[in-house]
């Protein structure tokens, strides 16, 4: 069973992958809820354009998304230079860049799931909350948000899973630097490129399967608990 023993580098790749995916999921969540709300409820000019832009990473080849990120968020990119100069945030060839790429790639799945659950909320309940003295913000916090929680959890798991599996955009944008930007997928890819790397690739593949399965079970479990509370009527 010696071949199952994970090396330090492999552990680093696993930890980095979990960290990057987790950060991507958490940071994109507020934006995801906001955009989903706009798309579900908003009546504004350019709504279909916003919808198109949000879904773009789903349709474009990941390499293209990665390249666009490189152009925009690279050190000399329009946004990247600005963020570097005023906030000291650097994306290129850092784990933050990997998280950005993962967040962008998972965003359409996150938004879609939350949007569907917002559209399913009975607006009559929100109206009732309004007549009881709740301002629109409070209505959202106390009625809408709890009711869409199952959709939010499903979206978070989907975006996390997408981030764990993300490869093309990440490697194009921030390359494949061990310890900084080498995620699980990139590490497996690296193993397959060197002679005798099959065992390492197999070990990491097993790890990837375990993580994905755990995420799936966790989402089922949470959806069950929340669903029991929300869908009683």
Partner 1 sequence: MTLIVEARQTLGEFNLDAGFTSEGGVTALFGRSGSGKTSLVRVIAGLSKPDQGRLMVDGDVLLDTENRIFVPKHRRRFGYVFQEGRLFPHLTVRQNLNYGRWFAGMSRQGDDFDRIVELLGIELLLERRPGKLSGGEKQRVAIGRALLAAPRLLLMDEPLAALDDQRKAEILPYLERLRDEMATPIVYVSHSVSEVARLADKVVMMKGGRVEAIGTPSEILGGQAFLSSDRRDAGAVLTGRVEAIDDAHRLATIRLSASEIVVPNAHVETGRSVRVHIPERDVMVATLRPEGLSALNILEGRIVSIEPDGEGMMRVRIRSGEDDLLARITALSVERLDLKLEKAVFAVIKTVALER
- Binding to partner 1, residues 114-153 (CB under 8 A): 124-125, 127-136, 138-139, 142-143, 146-147
**Secondary structure of residue 175 in the 3-state scheme:** coil
Shortest spacing between CB 83 and partner 1, in angstroms: 39
Residues 6+ apart with CB under 8 A from 205: 188
Shortest spacing between CB 38 and partner 1, in angstroms: 21
**Closer residue to partner 1, CB minimum distance, 116 or 134:** 134
Shortest spacing between CB 116 and partner 1, in angstroms: 18
Is residue 26 within 8 Å of 80, Cβ to Cβ? Answer: no
Shortest spacing between CB 118 and partner 1, in angstroms: 15
Closest CA to 106 of 49, 148, 164: 164
Could you say which DSSP state residue 4 is in?
Answer: G
End-to-end distance of the chain based on CA atoms, in angstroms? 52
**Closer residue to partner 1, CB minimum distance, 129 or 169:** 129
Question: Any contact of residue 43 with partner 1 (CB under 8 A)?
Answer: no
Is residue 103 within 8 Å of 163, Cβ to Cβ? Answer: yes
**Closer residue to partner 1, CB minimum distance, 71 or 125:** 125
211-230 footprint of partner 1 as x/- string (CB under 8 A): ------------------xx
Cα–Cα distance, 29 to 204 (Å, whole number)? 28
Shortest spacing between CB 146 and partner 1, in angstroms: 5
Cα–Cα distance, 117 to 151 (Å, whole number)? 5
Binding region for partner 1 (CB under 8 A): 124-125, 127-136, 138-139, 142-143, 146-147, 229-233
């Amino acid at each position: 069973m010696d071949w199952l023993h994970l090396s330090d580098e492999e552990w680093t790749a696993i930890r980095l992958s979990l960290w990057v995916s987790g950060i991507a999921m958490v940071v994109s969540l507020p934006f995801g809820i906001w955009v989903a709300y706009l798309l579900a409820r908003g009546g504004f000019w350019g709504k279909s354009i916003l919808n198109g832009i949000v879904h773009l990473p789903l349709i474009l080849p990941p390499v293209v998304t990665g390249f666009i990120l490189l152009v925009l968020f690279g050190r000399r990119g329009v946004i990247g230079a600005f963020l570097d100069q005023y906030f000291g945030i650097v994306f290129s060839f850092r784990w933050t860049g990997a998280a950005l790429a993962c967040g962008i790639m998972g965003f359409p799945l996150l938004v879609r799931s939350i949007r569907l659950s917002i559209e399913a909320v009975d607006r009559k309940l929100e109206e009732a909350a309004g007549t009881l003295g709740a301002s629109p913000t409070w209505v959202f916090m106390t009625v809408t948000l709890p009711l869409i929680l199952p959709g939010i959890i499903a979206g978070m798991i989907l975006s996390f899973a997408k981030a764990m599996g993300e490869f093309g955009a990440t490697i194009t944008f921030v390359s494949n630097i061990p310890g900084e930007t080498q995620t699980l997928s990139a590490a497996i890819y690296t193993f397959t490129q060197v002679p005798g790397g099959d065992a390492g690739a197999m070990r990491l593949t097993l790890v990837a399967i375990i993580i994905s399965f755990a995420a799936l079970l966790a989402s089922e479990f949470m959806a069950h608990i929340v669903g029991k509370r929300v869908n009683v009527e």
